[in-house]
Structure 1
Amino acid sequence: MNKEIQKSWIAGLLSACTASLCCIVPFIAAVGGSAGSASIYFNWIEPYRPYMIVLTFILFGLSWYKILTKKPMPSDNCGCENERKNFMGSKKFLGIVTVVCGLLIAFPYYSNLFAGQGMKSSITTQEKLQTARLSINGMSCAGCTDHIDKGLSGIRGIARSTTSFEKAMTTVIYNPDSISADSISKKIKQIGYRNSLIEKN
């Protein structure tokens, strides 16, 4: 029975990791300084996230059902237990793994707490600045906004970028003498998000 329980929670843990992979990997890459290309390989997971979450709940539900309904092994004649206590098959361990999976699934909702205070401007003058607004496709959580803004930070000609998850839009203030709106759009695609220019002024 312990092996069946372990198989269930291991599958549930993998499902929980997969559900938030599109946000976890870009975050790890950003910490490592390579945020520019991390999410492009994992954005395809985002539409399947609700199914992975449901699968995780089902697998952990089965694990808890099995461990709570498991009958204790009878003692032998010498009073020793026939089955050794297995920590990985215990309620305590399953509780720890359940909490870890809950944190993994919820990661997109608190990942912005680890974000920086904002991007530094590479422009010191306010002359000739223009604003470009681009619609963004492929964002799965609020953490994606930080991924985009960090990916655009430090690029020559970009003064500031502000991305909204609710509006699915990025607003970029830039110097047209140093960078074009098309170049900004290409950079966002390199970061891993499909986009289109809404307006430029």
Structure 2
Amino acid sequence: MSTEETSKKAAYTGLFAAVAASSCCIPPVIALIAGVGGSTSALSWMEPFRPYLIVLAIVAIGYAWYDYLKQKKVEDCCEIDAKPKWFQTKGFLIGITLFAVISISFPYYSHIFYPDNKKEIVIVNQSNIQTVNFDVQGMTCASCEQHVTHAVKKLEGIVNVAASFEKANTKVEFDDSKTSKEDIEKAINSTGYKVIDKEEN
């Protein structure tokens, strides 16, 4: 295989790996924009592979840069005037690198796509306020947390929502005269993640 072909494959491999590394976090945002939610956790199985995909993206794109700089050094030395192919240009490599960085870091800024839908709550009777902990299966990153939080906050009577992918739960404080545990469970399940158990605190 030629160096040219290897460089091209390295660039595309790096791009693919970078997108795949955040593929479990991108569907919730797409679902929010499209107004659907049922299949957002379909790629959550890829989360354990995220560190390996990030390393693969870095190595592959690093190799593409190495090959580009090596070719550049040869050209400078021997004054070769042959026009490089588009995937061997500096602009292409910068574009691939930036896209990879944006893709890999997506889980850390995905919250900006979720509008604040918190409603002002008027508590008439403090005894109506309940706190329930829902065990939620399928959340793998901060983007998943935002998706669940956004869905629950659409309901009336929600005082506070704290979703955690690390603890695999969502803690909801709500006015039971305005909404119910069943409604909250349905809202969470509508995102594609699943309530597997719930217990009152």
Instruction: Using structure 2 for the length normalisation, give the TM-score.
Output: 0.79
* Cα distance per residue 1:34-84 (max 9 Å; x no partner): 2x2242211111121111111111211221222222233956xxxx83x32
* Cα distance per residue 1:95-152 (max 9 Å; x no partner): 221111011101101112332224337x765443422112334332222211001222
> What is the match of residue 184 of structure 1?
184
Q: Distance in 2 between matches of 1:134 and 1:126?
A: 25
> What is the match of residue 10 of structure 2?
8
TM-aligned CA deviation for residue 31 of structure 1: 1.7
> What is the match of residue 33 of structure 1?
35
Secondary structure of the equivalent of 1:39? coil
- Distance change (3 Å), C-alpha of 1:197 and 1:181: farther
Range 4-13 or range 131-140, more displaced: 131-140
> What is the match of residue 107 of structure 2?
108
- Whether the 8 Å CA contact 1:40–1:190 is kept in 2: the answer is no
Secondary structure of the equivalent of 1:132? strand
Q: Distance in 2 between matches of 1:27 and 1:88?
A: 30
Mapping of residues 1-201 of structure 1, within 5 Å: 1-34=3-36, 36-70=37-71, 71-72=74-75, 81=81, 83-120=82-119, 126-127=124-125, 128-155=128-155, 158=158, 160-165=160-165, 167-176=167-176, 180-182=180-182, 184-200=184-200
The one-letter amino acid paired with 1:95 is I
- Distance change (3 Å), C-alpha of 1:117 and 1:184: closer
Aligned residues: 194
- Whether the 8 Å CA contact 1:133–1:200 is kept in 2: the answer is yes
The one-letter amino acid paired with 2:47 is E
Range 37-46 or range 168-177, more displaced: 168-177
* Cα distance per residue 1:9-28 (max 9 Å; x no partner): 11111111111011112112
Q: Distance in 1 between matches of 2:44 and 2:198?
A: 22
Q: Distance in 2 between matches of 1:157 and 1:113?
A: 24
- Whether the 8 Å CA contact 1:132–1:197 is kept in 2: the answer is no
TM-aligned CA deviation for residue 89 of structure 1: 1.1
- Whether the 8 Å CA contact 2:140–2:166 is kept in 1: the answer is no
Secondary structure of the equivalent of 2:87? helix
Q: Distance in 2 between matches of 1:99 and 1:86?
A: 20
RMSD of the TM alignment (CA)?
2.8
Q: Which runs of 5+ in 1 are unaligned?
A: none
Instruction: Using structure 1 for the length normalisation, give the TM-score.
Output: 0.79
Q: Distance in 2 between matches of 1:48 and 1:148?
A: 23
Secondary structure of the equivalent of 2:24? helix
Percent identity over the alignment?
A: 34
